[in-house]
A = this chain, B = another copy of it.
């Protein structure tokens, strides 16, 4: 015989906390608390297997379920002292859903179940409190009708308001027992009118109606969508917990509340929460009365006048505090509990791990190791890596006043305030005057980079999470809100409009790059504190992770920031970002627009010393750590002039004409630049560009060594390789440059040659490519674009709808598409290693800073991830968690 029902109460239980799959989170923890001897009202849990049975058998129950429920109910009655439906000693019940994980869209709670005209009257007599009895009754009718019978709860508010009007009173509390009894009658009549059948007085019908509603809600549209988005299998099912009611609304010695065992905002060890005297849980939600703090210290800090629970109910408080400590010891984690005090006696209604801010998670984790509650490896799992962003950037002061004008995508975390500039030039000018600037653009392009550098934060109207603005801002650690589609920007006029609000050049704006919110005027900021706890946890993370963490850095400043955050090398140094500097861009354009090899070489000769200087500074900063430098990647037309005066500048520098340059620019135009003449294809057609870069790199490394610096671990990376022949041809060119330097200077630094794996073909042919490549770096941005066939610049038109409709679970540019892109990464890793066992494997796309993607990288056996400097701590922690998770799975 299958056991469908697990009872608990009176210091023991048939279930345990480990039985979460069977009993749901709520049921398992209620059983556990009973086993611990804590004061839990008796109850029963109908298992998730019943839910599965229910759907597999045409919405019917196992034949022996009712008998098992009845038996458990009898036990509940014995403990609580009452019987369901017995007017003399009525047993009242709460009914709640409880899946393995908390899930929106499920039926939540029905309270006071078991009341009908007879038991309400009985309850009135038994408690000597008719007003309590009839208030409970009319609340039950309203709640049950709403969540079980589907009658709009507004109808009941209407009746209540009419009654108060007719009696000329304002507050619910002014209604007496008779009023409430009358209202209960009106409620029932209204239900019958709505549904065409009466509200059930039969308590068994009430109970099975509520249980059925819980199971039915497992397939509510909202629950289905949530499951799909969160990959929760349909066959998990939900459990139902049925529990004897206790009442926080039985007078001034009764109360209800919620508490955390530590402050969920800061992690401070104290009982943090709120309670309401003489109330049921729903009153807290309704917001009619203001709850009071639990502990005295918090009340004093907040300057509150009304007493805390510690002061008003010292005994119950002391017991709650002791229970909180007991639960923390037991669960070895901070708990979030619900409780009720009924006429002075404390009852526990729920416990679960408490949600907390990153700051709190960090402090609690480190503190608990100090307290001996957990060990370091557990502490490492207790902080959400993505949440670290909250700690690394300025954030909005939560108490500061603000006027939100629009919201876009939180594209790069951190908050920033400054004067609005509409062009990169304006931004630079203001920054030169020591003004804080917010750069506002319809969308950014590589030409805006100097303006982005100058700005405190960036706001764009177009583009998604991986638009140019978002990617570059994250790389720079600048807060960024992208794709604020409601924004109308008129740069020429120097103003932007969001709804009715017009903001002109130079006015103040504040953005929150974590939430995507945009505010008019200045909003107070909180600066990040990289406290000792942060460093401690990072160190513990480093002790357990296997993946190395490098950074994507194009400048010495980026490199320095990343090293501060613990980067162990540069995984991607994009040489093209060096090309946009105002001094250099003319020479770059001269090179591109040259139509002869000599013309290009002349321009390249100007660029060589500049690039060499850049590399020298970066190598010096990295002090002997590995540095992967990618040779020129983007299509040349990204660097092209647009304005007449820019063409003139270049024409002057190159001794050519504007007309000729324009003609050449037209030739360079591409229909699909992402799939065009870029990456190593440039190296093949214009070998002199890569030769100049190779020379700059090797000479810079030599110079650093000659000045006594640590030898650079040089990794020269060829982008967009699809064919081994491409890599071979370019590796030979670079070897030629190295030989020339050696012939000239007597020595040349050691270097490795490798390639990006960013085309499906490269992944498939990795075995062959690894004959030449000494390392692979997975460029998963481009690999995602080509594998799925979506351009990240254009995906905004449909990707949002894909996410909304649940066609995909996550934006594949944010978190790696494990099934598609991931398979290619695994294929390439496997084939590359088969050819060259010690080939170095890393990832340098945006995914290198995403915890889920980092887990994938760990599981796939890569050697390192590389991410933007501000994501380095995120990656270190995520890598540690991935290692712990894998070793747990492998046990």
Contacts and interface: CB of A to CB of B under 8 A. Distances in A.
Interface of A: 670-677, 681, 684-685, 720, 722-723, 725-726, 729, 758-761, 764-765, 782, 785-791, 793-795, 797-798, 801-802, 805-808, 817, 819-821, 823-824
B671 A674 contact: yes
Contacts of A786: 760, 786-787, 789
Contacts of A787: 759-761, 764, 786
Contacts of A675: 672, 674-675, 785, 789-791, 794
A701 B11 CA distance: 72
B764 A684 contact: no
A788 B759 contact: yes
Contacts of A819: 761, 764-765
Contacts of A793: 670-672
Total identical chains: 2
Nearest to A669: B794
Nearest to A821: B761
A492 to B, nearest CB: 16
Contacts of A671: 673-674, 791, 793-794
Given A670-B793, A674-B789, A677-B798, 7 more contacts: A670-B791, A672-B791, A672-B794, A675-B794, A761-B787, A761-B788, A765-B820
A723 B807 CA distance: 8
Nearest to A670: B794
23 contacts: A670-B794, A671-B793, A672-B675, A672-B791, A672-B794, A673-B794, A675-B790, A675-B794, A676-B797, A677-B797, A684-B802, A684-B807, A722-B788, A722-B790, A723-B808, A725-B807, A760-B820, A761-B821, A764-B819, A764-B824, A765-B820, A786-B787, A786-B789
A67 to B, nearest CB: 41
A815 to B, nearest CB: 15
A781 B802 CA distance: 25
A797 B764 contact: no
B722 A820 contact: yes
A572 to B, nearest CB: 18
A249 to B, nearest CB: 48
Nearest to A443: B671
A793 B672 CA distance: 8
Closest 3 CB pairs of A and B: A761-B820, A675-B791, A672-B791
Contacts of A758: 789
A684 B820 contact: no
A821 B676 CA distance: 18
Contact of A820 (B677, B725, B764): B764
B807 A726 contact: yes
B805 A720 contact: no
Contacts of A791: 670-672, 674-676
Contacts of A790: 675-676, 722
